[in-house]
Structure formats: C-alpha cells, structure tokens
A and B are shown apart, each in its own frame.
Chain A
Amino acid sequence: MRSETMTATKKISLTINGKVCAGEPGQTILEIARANDIYIPTLCYLKGLTSWGGCRLCIVEIVGSPKIVPSCATPAVDGSKIITDSPRLHGLRKATLELLFSERNHICPMCPYNKGDCGLQHQGYLHGINNVRYQYLYPAMPVDLTAKYFGIDHNRCILCGRCVRTCDEIQGVHTLDVAYRGIRNQVVVDMLKKFSESETCTSCGACVANCPTGAFFDKAAAFRGPLASCQTVLTTCTECPLGCGLKVFVKENRIVNVWGDPDSPVNRGHLCVKGRYETWAEPRERITQPLLRDKDGKLQPATWDNAIATIRKAAKAAKKTEKALLVAPRVTNETAQTITKFTGKVDRLAMYVTANEAALCSEPSFNADAMRKLEDADAIIIIGAQPSRDNGVVAARIRTTVRKREAKLLIFHARKSDLDQYANICAHEVSLEHQFWNEVAAVLEGAQKPAILYGPNAMTPIGVTVMERLIKIFEGHPGGQAPTLIGLPVGTNSLALAGAGIEAIEDVGPWLDAKPLKFLHIVASDAPDGGAGLLDEKYVSDLLNQIPCVVVQAGYRSALTDKAAVVLPATIWCEKSGTITNLEGRRLSLRPVLPVSGEAREDAAILESVFA
C-alpha cells in the first residue's frame, strides 16, 4: 500500500458512520477509516502486509448492499456509505470471536502474552465476551520449541496468517506457510519441518513480534512480565553499520524484550537475529569491575583507583614510541573524539577492521537513504559483501525487492548464501570471459534504477575489476541511470571513525610488530566476542604475550580479557549513550536502557582517566 508514491489523480470521498472521509483511490475502507480515526476491530490485518481478509472482524456494512464485506480487503468506492458498528455487525463479530476461542486451547492464565499483550483477548474484552456459546473442541495441538530463541504453540494460534505474511513479505524467506485443510489447517515450517530442521529460517523473530496472540513467543521474554506493563526505550542497534532502530521493553531494570522501532526510517520495525536476540537473549559473561593481575598471574578484582594507578605507572615506564592504542570499529562518535585527543600520547593509534575493509575506510562514503533506494532498485548487484550473514535487514530488503518487485539480482565475488537462489547471475568466482560479461550486460539491459552494494571484498583486485566492468556496462546503456553505490562495511562505525581520522588496519600483527611495544591499550568496547577475534591469528596472539602491559577495556569476558594485565569494565549497548553514523550517514542516537551494571564506565570516560 504505497499510496504516497501513487500519482494523486483524484481524491475519493465516502461517508463512514455519518462522517465524511477523504481517501486516495485504491485505498481500502479500513485504511481510510483508520486515517480518519474511526476504529474497526482487526486481528489478521497488519499495516505493511498485504490484506488477507481472514479473521472477519473488520466486517462493515455498505448502505444499499445486503452483503457485509471485510473492510481490510475491500477498496473504497467514491460516494459509498459505510457503517462500521451495528447490532448485526457486533453479533457477527462476537460469534466469530467465540468460534476462535472455542476452536483451540486458549488458556489465558498460562500464556506468556496475557495481561494486555494479546490481540484476541483484547477483542474478547471489547466485545464483552464473558462466556463462549460454542462447545470447546480442545484439540491436541503440537508445540515446537526447537527454535533457539522462540517457540510456537499451535494451541494459541488463530490462523490469522500474520506470521506467514511477515516471513514472506518482510523477511522474504517464506519459511512459514499453512498446511492442511479445514479444522486441520495449521501454520507449518518449511515443508512440515521443525524449526531446528529448517534451512530457510533466519531466526529474525519478526513472526513473534507480529503474532497477535501468544502462539509465537520469545523464550527469553516469556513470563517476564506483560510487554504492556513495560517501559519502552528507543535506541539504536550497534551490531552492524545499518543502525536499526530498537524498541526495548524494560521492567524492573531488566530487558524483557527487544523489537524493531516501527518509526525508524532505517529498518521500519524489522530486525535480524543479531539485534533482536543475540544482544540480550544470549548468555554472555559481563565484566563489572576492574581486574588486575596479581603476583601469581591471576586476574583479581581491584578498585578503579588501583587499576588506573597501575596503568599509569606502566604507561609512564614506557617511552612514547613503545605505546599504542587499538580500537574496535564499533565505538561511538563521541568516543572517537576523545580518542583522537590522545593521538599525541601514543606512538600508534588505529582501529582493527576486517580484511579489505581498510580500503573501504580510506574514502568513507555514505549513501543517504540507501535503504529506500535499495527497495526501489530494479537491479541489485552485490560485490564482495555478505548481507545475509552481516546485515540481516539489508538481506531482507534485497529478498523482498527481488522476490516481490522482480528486481534483478547479481552476486559477484561473495560467499555462498541463501540469496544465491534468487540471483539471476551468481558468480562466487568471477570469470573474465566475454561471454560471461555479455550475459551480465544482457541481464542488466534496461535497468533504470540499479543499486550496487559493495562490501570490503569489493576492494580486492577482483572486486575492482567487477566494479569497472559494471560501470562500463552502465555507461554503455543509452540514457541509463548511473547505479547507486552503497558501501557496506562490516565494522559498525568504521566509516565514521575513519572520517574522524582514526587509521584502519587489517593486519594487526605487523602493526604491533613494527616497533617493540611495552604498553598496549585495547578498546574492545561491547564487541560480543570481547575482542577475542584479535587472537585468531597466532602471530598477534604471540605478540600480545610479549607486551608487558596490555590493558583491555571490554564489556564482556573473553580470551582477550583473560590475557590482559589490566581489564577495565566498559558499558554495553543498553547502557551507552552517544551516536553512531550508519551507512546512510545518519547520526543515530544510543540511549541508555538500563542503569550501568556494576562499576562499568563509558569508553570515553575510561580513556580520559587512562590518558588524560
């Protein structure tokens, strides 16, 4: 329903409950009623999904017609008179709801989505249902708890199909669908699989967020309190450079659930598994107080004063040429400002980025409104990026654009992913033969709004060649539009940090090895792995062993913090404030959701006390 892009030819006008309401041609009765603050009950309707007309709660009467129609699936007709509430409609809706209640086992007291979270319950209340006139069927329904983060209890399912449409139209994977007929009708995963066996499910959890009942529920959120009773805080996901808006539900200083912020222009309410679950539903060991290595070489809790004094002593003992500061590419813009203040205090200052990302950072470029352009594109070209793995919401947009709007998809020089199956051309290894490039040119023929999504591996010689050839193809198109270039780094804030003047390095080993170091300060910040990724290379791991004083400031315990001489507790995503700059160049705010845990401090504050 992208009415805003529709060329407004002529407005239509209809009378709903005696009120004159204006709307666009093509809008449904429900959409116009909602826009005019007229309430029509719904269960299966959800803004942003195609109308299904399944629940029959949104039925309305059209004056002069004996039929009643579902308003969510009926286009409004100019001049028609609509009645949304009458004894007849009320009676039918009530009967529909009673049938829904009697069909499966809706046992409200033991549902994790009771007390204000359930759409079915809410409609029952609105329609004054205090008993059900039909016989309860008590069917034996299965429960699938094999997914890692959520479960589905078919006892509570009303078959509204919102999960099915969400999975298909928003995440674009179409894992869920319905099987069987009549009373046996049921939501199924893939072809009658369990979630754990599903090859298509990406665990994005959008089905759970869009389920009107407790049929889909988040395991970590279940029975932690109704969401309706929680405070909500809007903040930004820092797991990838997309910067999706998060709506965090908090109760008694605990995170109850994390949903996408529907008003965020970046993700419009959708999230991937990283933002939706991994940040809070995964057990991770927090560091909550400074740790100092004792005489026996064991890390022991210490006071901040002692830890800072120890660090300063070690820093003083080292010459300037023997000191270095290494930063994770996920710190906030504000922390970056603090870091650059201390450039003169150390010999080397850099952020560690993934392979080939340094080249991406050397000319940081942001593409304003990249997500919208991606959705509008009629040809999407991926070079050297892994959106399916790294940026779930980008991958979802690609899938839906390709599958629903029939955009072309070309993948070059990327690893295998689920996107390959939708691609017109999928070249994990790029050929230089004429025939191949002629095929590429043929696929791109007539593309009016192409978008090129390039990741770090687009900066390799192969990637650059692909890019050059593509540009040549587009230049050859008479009157064709130049492609939109969207840079997709791996580091959350690496482009902005590079812009702030922090050098990006891919090979930490030679950087450490350039001159012998006596003092190394690593800002791992709230990286989920606690910075342990640095140790993957044995070269780096060995070098770290030789440095007398390695200070690590991190939110989570890891193999790296276990190696450090001093560990300083840093705040994590839900405790931070500040901003990050996403790949569209938006400065997105982080807002503290929870009070700081233990003695943790913000990255910038820690750096101030160490270096100032």
Chain B
Amino acid sequence: MKKTIGKKVTKKTTRPAAKAAAAPAAPAKVRVATMWLSGCSGCHMSFLDLDERLVGLMKLIDILFSPIVDTKVKDMPQVDVGIVEGCVNNTDQEHELRMLRDRCKILIALGDCACTGNIPALRNQFTLKDCLARAYEQAESNRISCIPNDPLVPKLYPKARPLQEVVKVDLSIPGCPPDADTIWYALTELLAGRMPQWTEKNLRYD
C-alpha cells in the first residue's frame, strides 16, 4: 500500500492549485476524479447544481474519471483530487476506494454517507443475514425470493463504513446532500490553497 504517498503529496498539491487560482490562464489544470459508492447520487446532483459556476470551474479543473462524465480512460488515472460520494458497503467499493486513495493526493468525502455512513449504515444495526433476507426474501415486492449469489456480485460487508474507517480522508464535506454553495466554497478554498473553515453558516448534516 502506498498510503504514505497521499500524505507526502498533499502539501505539494495545494501549490499548483493555488497557482491555478491566481493565474487562471496557467495550463496546468487540477486533475479530479469522482466516485460514487453506496450513495444515492444526490451529492453528484448537488455538484451539478453548481450550474453556471461549472463553466468557470472547468477552466480550473479537469474531471478525468467520474460517473457523470463521458470517461475516455479505461483505467483510473493519477489525479490531484478524488471526490467520493457514498460509504463502503461491499468488497468492490473498498477496492475502488483504495485504488483512488493510492492515485489521488487529496481525498474528499462528499456528503453524509461518505462522512458518517448515513442511510446505508442503517443496516448496521442488523445482521447481514437479516438484511439480505429482508431485501431479497421477505420484501413484499419480491416475485422470486433469491439472495444473489453469482460470484460476480460483490460481497456485502457485515457493516457499511464511512470512508475514514477504510482510508485516510483529507476533507469531509457533510450534508445530505451538501448544498452546491457548500461544495463551491470547499472547492474554491482548496483551489486557492486553503483548507475550508467550518462554521454554523456552512455546516449542514441534513
């Protein structure tokens, strides 16, 4: 695991970002990857709620890998910032998250699921067996009751975990979803080379 790399480069990353903010004409854009684990996509939708601000933002960043862009890369590239929505629920998600952590310099947990587990973590009160039985065997809408057992299907963990229980997280942006304004504030602060400051004005857990 190259976990230490993230830490080392964190300090470096802020510099090109700061440069980018100070001189928008600079050719080096901040490279960004976003990822969506156990979440509802709401945080990505909230990101899109930046609306016309996206145009300006795209002059500063390049989204190279994301469920909301037409990705031309097969493999996840090395990026400066990784933004993750949702929590870690299964083997596949943990693999992807670890991969992103290895390939990004700053990892942002976007939204309550990534920060706390939130709704997906509701199942943590129950055993995995009960959860699966409820969803695939007892649910009123089920026509065929069968718990998916194809080897291709990722294995659920006994508990859903927020990102910070799996990898090191550099910044948490809470909210369900975080407002576009909050996302804008956090991203622009990072681009300017500062860590966002959290107060009652920009914090929201709901």
Spell out A's residues near B (CB within 8 Å). Answer: 101, 105, 107-111, 114-115, 121-122, 124-126, 128-132, 135-136, 138-141
B93 at the interface (CB under 8 A from A): no
Are B162 and A121 within 8 A (Cβ)? no
* Residues 180-206 of B contacting A (Cβ, < 8 Å): 197-200, 203-206
Are B164 and A138 within 8 A (Cβ)? no
Spell out B's residues near A (CB within 8 Å). Answer: 109, 112, 115-119, 121-122, 124-126, 159, 162, 164-165, 169, 172-174, 176, 197-200, 203-206
Are B119 and A138 within 8 A (Cβ)? no
CB of A215, distance to nearest CB on chain B (Å): 16
Are A107 and B200 within 8 A (Cβ)? no
CB of B132, distance to nearest CB on chain A (Å): 17
Are B205 and A131 within 8 A (Cβ)? no
Are A128 and B159 within 8 A (Cβ)? no
CB of B125, distance to nearest CB on chain A (Å): 4
Give the complex CA separation of A138 and B162 in angstroms: 12
Give the complex CA separation of A92 and B119 in angstroms: 28
Contacts of B125 in A (CB 8 A): 105, 138-141
Among residues of B, the one whose C-beta sits closest to the C-beta of A111 is B206
Are A130 and B172 within 8 A (Cβ)? yes
Which of B122, B159, B203 contacts A124, CB < 8 Å? B203
Give the complex CA separation of A124 and B198 in angstroms: 10
CB of B42, distance to nearest CB on chain A (Å): 10
Contacts of B169 in A (CB 8 A): 131
Contacts of B164 in A (CB 8 A): 131
Q: Which of A110, A121, A124, A125 has the most CB of B within 10 A?
A: A125
CB of B149, distance to nearest CB on chain A (Å): 26
Give the complex CA separation of A108 and B113 in angstroms: 11
Are A138 and B117 within 8 A (Cβ)? yes
Contacts of B119 in A (CB 8 A): 107, 109-110
Give the complex CA separation of A110 and B120 in angstroms: 12
Are B206 and A128 within 8 A (Cβ)? no
Give the complex CA separation of A252 and B165 in angstroms: 43
Given A105-B125, A108-B205, A109-B112, does the pair A136, B117 have CB atoms closer than 8 Å? yes
Contacts of A140 in B (CB 8 A): 125-126
Which of A125, A126, A132 contacts B116, CB < 8 Å? A132
CB of A213, distance to nearest CB on chain B (Å): 12
Are A130 and B173 within 8 A (Cβ)? yes
Give the complex CA separation of A110 and B119 in angstroms: 8
Contacts of A114 in B (CB 8 A): 205-206
Given A108-B206, A138-B117, does the pair A128, B126 have CB atoms closer than 8 Å? no
Contacts of A131 in B (CB 8 A): 109, 115-116, 164, 169, 172, 174
Are A136 and B121 within 8 A (Cβ)? yes
Are B203 and A130 within 8 A (Cβ)? yes
Give the complex CA separation of A136 and B115 in angstroms: 11
Contacts of A109 in B (CB 8 A): 112, 118-119, 176, 205-206
Interface contacts beyond A108-B205, A139-B125: sample of 5 additional A-B pairs, CB < 8 Å, sorted by A = A122-B200, A131-B115, A138-B121, A138-B159, A140-B125
30 A-B pairs with C-beta separation under 8 A: A101-B116, A105-B124, A107-B112, A107-B118, A107-B122, A108-B112, A108-B176, A108-B206, A109-B118, A109-B206, A114-B205, A121-B205, A122-B200, A125-B199, A125-B203, A125-B204, A128-B197, A129-B203, A130-B173, A130-B174, A131-B109, A131-B115, A131-B164, A131-B172, A132-B115, A136-B121, A136-B165, A138-B117, A138-B124, A139-B125
